[in-house]
Amino acid sequence: MRRKIIAGNWKMNKDIRETATLINELKERLKDFKNEVDIVLCPPFPSLVVAKSLIKDTPMKLGAQNMSQHDEGAFTGEVSAKMLTSIGCEYVILGHSERRQYFKETDEIVNAKVKKALKTRFTPIVCIGETLEEREAGITDRIITTQIKGVLHELSSTDVEKIIIAYEPVWAIGTGKYATPDQANQVHRLIRKLVGQHYSCPVAETLIIQYGGSVNSQNAYALLSQPEIDGALVGGASLTSDAFMRIIQACVEASIPNHS
Ligand code: PGA
């Protein structure tokens, strides 16, 4: 059984005060939570320290939204794995489509970051997904295959066991358009098949694959109850405690066998 995981990608939202407000609200709402699923918050860098102290003794874990592939040195504006470890981050989102689109991150760069994250004992949440043009051209499978090969290049089975893949169709991110549960499930199945071919069936079967792209309280249950969907990477709907809690609740319900 794969344990489901909900991660909130706050992107460039919330200053320190707003971070504290949101986390305190979530803490209050999570009082009766029985740890059925994993919850990760990924605030912007300046909020990480404060977030870490606020989530102490709660089920919430901390993640960063990006990380340098370099150890240290003259890389103005970058943040290293060591810095994030010293804060107590356990997860890091890598290769988000916004990083690929606006900051020109390639599969090769993402692969270098994944290797660095694994060396530093992070759980990388590695994002892949096709654009609208690619979907309309009928080449989604080809794009996903290329991305999976690229981001997992030279990783061992033991490495792949430690990562999370987030399938995020670019056309669904922040647009309000989401993949239907069936569309998402099909791509997740392809990802699992590819990992099974490159590594082994047991590695593929234990791989956590999240869906991301306009997940909200209305569509979360249908997406999360698909057999191949093991969680969600949530952007906009992770910015209010009400919306995020509803998604966590939907995930808990979707985790109960035979729940309908
Ligand atoms: P969205 O973002 O939920 O706002 O579409 C998801 C993401 O970018 O991870």
pLDDT tens figures, 219-259: 999 999 999 999 999 999 999 999 999 999 999 999 987 66
- Closest listed residue to residue 128, CA positions, set 184, 69, 206, 51: 184
Please tell me the predicted confidence (pLDDT) of residue 259.
62
Please tell me the predicted confidence (pLDDT) of residue 260.
53
Please tell me the predicted confidence (pLDDT) of residue 258.
65
9 forms bridges with which residues in the sheet?
Answer: 42
Interatomic CA distance for residues 7 and 161, integer angstroms: 18
Please tell me the predicted confidence (pLDDT) of residue 234.
98
168 is catalytic: yes
- Closest listed residue to residue 5, CA positions, set 35, 47, 48, 44: 35
Residues of the chain with pLDDT under 70: 258-260
Counting from 1 in the atom list of ligand 1, the atom nearest the Cα of 175 is: 5
User: What is the Cβ-side half-sphere exposure of residue 191, based on CA atoms within 13 angstroms?
Assistant: 33
Question: Which one is catalytic: 98, 105, 134, 168?
Answer: 168
Interatomic CA distance for residues 124 and 94, integer angstroms: 6
Asked whether the beta carbons of 212 and 233 are under 8 A apart, the reply is: yes
**Could you tell me the pTM of the whole model?**
0.97
Q: Looking at this protein, which amino acid is placed at residue 35?
A: N
96 is catalytic: yes
User: 73-100: per-residue pLDDT in tens?
Assistant: 999 999 999 999 999 999 999 999 999 9
Counting from 1 in the atom list of ligand 1, the atom nearest the Cα of 236 is: 4
Q: Write out residues with Cβ below 6 Å of ligand 1.
A: 9, 168, 173-174, 212-215, 233-237
User: What is the Cβ-side half-sphere exposure of residue 255, based on CA atoms within 13 angstroms?
Assistant: 20
Please tell me the predicted confidence (pLDDT) of residue 256.
86
Rg (CA), the chain: 17
Interatomic CA distance for residues 145 and 135, integer angstroms: 13
Tokens 């699923």 belong to residue? 37
Please tell me the predicted confidence (pLDDT) of residue 178.
87
Counting from 1 in the atom list of ligand 1, the atom nearest the Cα of 238 is: 3
| Integer angstrom CA distances of residue 226 from 4, 186, 230, 253 | 12, 10, 8, 12
The H or E element spanning position 99 is helix 97-103
For the chain, how are helix, strand and coil distributed in percent, rounded to 5?
45, 15, 40
